[in-house]
Amino acid sequence: MYALVSVLIIIASILLTLIVLVQNSKGGGLASNFSGSNQVMGVRKTADFLEKATWTLAISLVVLSITAAMVIPRGEIEQRSKIEQQINKAVDPSQMPQFPTSVPETEATGEGE
């Protein structure tokens, strides 16, 4: 699913780049080639189409980016940092066994031998 969304993002980005390059910043661009007033797609309709296509692709790019963030694969990370491994392996000092600090009485008096 993530690969499909990534491919769609790339396609939308390329199309958006091409449509923006076709437009002229002063209102000309592709629309300036159609200067006849009695054509089906005249100057005004071509500019409207390019503007609508730009907005549609921009909105679809945002939606696809949000979708990609939601479907990104979140597998268990194999490599963890050394600090995190040491923290997980650390023993709680209150859980350490208490060793006797004195010598057992049988060894102290010598009765065990």
pLDDT tens per residue, range 37-69? 444 555 567 778 888 999 999 999 999 999 999
First to last CA, the chain: 76
Task: For the chain, give the number of residues.
Answer: 113
Q: Identify each DSSP E strand in 1-113 by its residue range.
A: none
- DSSP structure string for the chain: -HHHHHHHHHHHHHHHHHHHHHS-TTS-GGGGG---TTSSS-HHHHHHHHHHHHHHHHHHHHHHHHHHHHH---PPPS---HHHHHHHHPPPGGGS-----SPPHHHHHTTT-
Residue 18 Cα distances to 42, 49, 57, angstroms: 20, 14, 11
Confidence of residue 33 (pLDDT cuts 50, 70, 90): low
pLDDT of residue 8: 94
Residue 24 Cα distances to 18, 21, 73, angstroms: 12, 7, 40
pTM equals: 0.52
pLDDT at 21 over 80: yes
Mean pLDDT for 82-108 is 71
Q: Which residue ranges make up each domain of the chain?
A: 2-71
